[in-house]
Amino acid sequence: QRKNPFSSDDRLASKPAHTHRGDPTYGRPPEGSRTEQRGRDAHSHVGREVEELCLIIRRTGEVGEDGHVRVTFGQLFETYVTISNKVVGILLRARKHGLVHFEGEMLWQGKDDNVVITLL
């Protein structure tokens, strides 16, 4: 509507133009908006879940010769699933942040029960 010469809606002219790739605000909600606050809240919630997952790995795993704690996916799944049903997603997020290591792209219950997860 902004480019429409026949539009008489003055509210459209006062809105900021859309950002483009390369702009630091591209793909981000407006500052101070409720959407931005919800995003911050979700980010901190996931961070707390990652911390809790690491504590559970430390508590249920075994310390190896190199000092790292290891646990199998099956053992972790059985322990953590009573806390949250998002164990695989939280594991992927923890790996993205360099907190854990395991082989493979995705872990599946049953099939990958013997995959070793190392707490870094």
Q: What is the pLDDT of residue 51?
A: 94
Q: Report DSSP state, residue 71.
A: E
Max alpha carbon distance in the chain (Å)? Answer: 75
Q: Is 11 contained in some domain?
A: no
The Cβ of residue 99 has, within 10 Å, a number of other Cβ atoms equal to 17
Distance CA 27, CA 50 (A): 25
Q: Which domain holds residue 45?
A: 34-119
pLDDT in tens, 36-74: 999 999 999 999 999 999 999 999 999 989 999 999 999
Q: What is the pLDDT of residue 25?
A: 81
Model pTM score:
0.70
State the total domains in the chain: 1
Q: Quick check: 12 pLDDT over 90? A: no
Q: Is 17 contained in some domain?
A: no
Q: Is 28 contained in some domain?
A: no
Q: 20, 54 in Cβ contact below 8 A?
A: no
Contacts of residue 19, defined as CB under 8 A and 6 or more positions apart, other chains included, come to 25, 26, 27
In single-letter form, the type of residue at position 116 comes to V
pLDDT in tens, 92-118: 999 999 999 999 999 998 899 999 999
